[in-house]
Amino acid sequence: MFQSFDAPTRPEDGPPRLALLRTEIAAAGLDGFLVPRADVHQGEYVAAHDDRLAWLTGFTGSAGFCAVLDGIAGVFVDGRYRLQVRTQVDLDHFTPVAWPGTKLGDWLVAQLPEGGQIGFDPRLHTVEELRKLSARCGPAGIGLVPTANLIDRIWADQPAPPLGQIAAHPLELAGQSHEAKRATLAEALRDDDIAANVLTLPDSIAWLLNIRGSDIPRNPVPHAFAMLHGDGSVDLFCAAAKVSTELHRHLGTSVRLAEPEAFGPALQALTGRVRIDPSSAPVWVAEQLKLAEIVEGRDPCLLPKARKTAAEIAGMEAAHLRDGAAMCRFLAWLDAEAPKGGLTEIAVVRRLEQERRQDPMLRDISFDTIAGTGPHGAIVHYRVTEATDRAVTPGELLLIDSGAQYLDGTTDITRTVATGPVTDEQRACFTRVLKGMIALSQARWPKGLAGRDLDPLARIALWRAGQDYDHGTGHGVGAYLSVHEGPQRISRLGEVALDPGMVLSNEPGYYREGEFGIRIENLIHVVPAPALPGADDRPMLAFRTLTWVPIDRRLIEPSLLSADERTWLDIYHAAVRDRLSERVEGAAGLWLDAATAPL
């Protein structure tokens, strides 16, 4: 259930695996093969059965892919993973590529002569992804060839597909029945003259049917496919071994169940106008719709799933209070133990999980805890293993990014803490990050703006110091669903308008390679902004905070904060104390009082 510290680093037989793959590539008459991290469902997270990228390369990040050619194997990663990838892959055999700055199509055109042929598994690449790649490669004379998965041919001990049980999600926590959800979406299908909508994303299916699964570590979603029809009925394709009698009763007669193997024939039998989301539907799905007229559009579950119901927000608020109490007990322990010099990163992770386990509503952690001290903190998504475990040295900054899956909500919080004396430079960098976090917390904006419009607010203080960070400022978060949830996000790429009920992270950071990392993260949700005297008559939105845990005052340089920012921090800390004082007792209660004192 909880975190393992086995090293998922580069495989000892990595080069032989690469050689075996190249043999398969040549036997298929190809010049290369694409190895994405994706599975057939196109969710962000994959089961062990589908973790082909890690098996081949050793890279375990949540985003990336490998393009294997005869003389080079490029591992494409974004800014979150550019340090991590170099510690996990064999650099004698794999070449990290900075993506998306370097596009796959441009890279292939530069590496291959005209006439080159690149194989890909059509189940693991989306319609939109392949379309963009074809538009770049086709004019250069490079062909994209659908083929069976070549990794599966050589992965002798590939784990079996997961068969986790599926459970009904209580109506009192969902806030809306699956019958009502299906009826609303079906009405929209009929309005658009759509006969059926194909769904592949596990979290969309989980939301629509008010079910939760256990096929993906840390994410309570089932592996399944679904078809939503214009009459509101659903065909759900999942292994019968996952389905109990109780679940049958929950789903009712309007949700028909079939084995996953029936999904292909069912697609082939569809007629009329059938909608798919090109950003999440695999190429294979589009290929099976032989009799249908394909209509492209957004997965209809994405926006209503992102706009949480009142019951979901209430559950998230309750989960965050309990999680905040666990965090305070942990931080009080950490403050007492870290200066002694006997802790390691693994000990930190285990203690935090121990505190969260006291909650009977806990189901799992929401991702592998990041506990990076000193230079490890600069690795944005660092995961400690027995091989990398580092002592928590007094005087180094310790970055702890963690979260939990409770039955009533999902949490995600980062705190950077001092373990001893800190330098003026560390304090200045921390305070700039804090200024960005406060700016976003206080944001007020006209309805209709997207995450990209708000992202600069979190960066201004860093930019003025010639600093920045190479990740988005905020991702969407599910309600006892995936800790990373789209389509909402706060980043330069965030194009979806923010709406009331959306939950996002607020997590600016700063990272100095080889020295330290800083990140401060609260979860926030979008609400209508309160009226102001003299304001224009236009709808405005704001954020309301969900996370209630002290921010380390020892790392703050007060002179760098404005009076307004200092006031915000003092009000926040007073609210933390008020909300948690009855939940945190003894030594932890005394710690809470001191940690939330006015700046």
Looking at the structure, give the CATH architecture of the domain made up of residues 307-595.
Answer: Alpha-Beta Complex (3.90)
Q: Where are the domains of the chain?
A: 14-154, 167-300, 307-595
Give 10-residue mean pLDDT values along the chain (599 residues). 66 81 97 96 91 95 93 92 90 94 96 96 97 97 97 96 96 98 98 98 98 95 97 97 96 97 98 97 98 98 98 98 98 96 96 98 97 96 93 96 98 97 97 98 98 98 97 98 96 96 98 97 97 92 98 98 98 98 96 97
Q: What is the pLDDT of residue 11?
A: 66
Nearest Cα to Cα of residue 151 among 271, 77, 66, 52: 52
What type of residue sits at position 102? T
User: Residue 339 corresponds to which amino acid?
Assistant: P
Q: Whole-prediction pTM value?
A: 0.94
CB 270 within 8 A of CB 196: yes
| Identity of the amino acid at 389 | D
CA distance 486 to 474: 11
CA 565 to each of CA 303, 504, 599: distance values in angstroms, whole numbers, following the listed order: 33, 21, 11
pLDDT per residue as tens digits for the range 109-126: 999 999 999 999 999 999
**pLDDT tens readout for residues 69-99:** 999 999 999 888 888 899 899 999 999 999 9
Q: What is the pLDDT of residue 517?
A: 98
| First vs last C-alpha separation in the chain | 39
pLDDT at 83: 86
For the stretch 239-292, pLDDT in tens is 999 999 999 999 999 999 999 999 999 999 999 999 999 999 999 999 999 999
The CATH class of 14-154 is alpha beta
Average pLDDT taken over every residue of the chain? 96
Give one word for 193, left, alpha or beta, with left for phi > 0 and alpha for psi -120 to 50: left
Domains 14-154 and 307-595 share a fold: no
Give me the CATH topology for the region 167-300: Creatine Amidinohydrolase; Chain A, domain 1 (3.40.350)
Please write the tens of the pLDDT for every residue from 418-430. 999 999 999 999 9
Whose tokens are 């089932």? That residue is: 222
Contact 279, 118 (CB under 8 A): no
Looking at residue 1, its pLDDT comes to 54
The kind and range of the H/E element at 198 are strand 196-199
Q: Nearest 5 degrees, angle CA 212-CA 215-CA 221?
A: 30
Q: How high is the pLDDT of residue 6?
A: 72
Question: Is 452 in contact with 492 (CB distance < 8 Å)?
Answer: yes
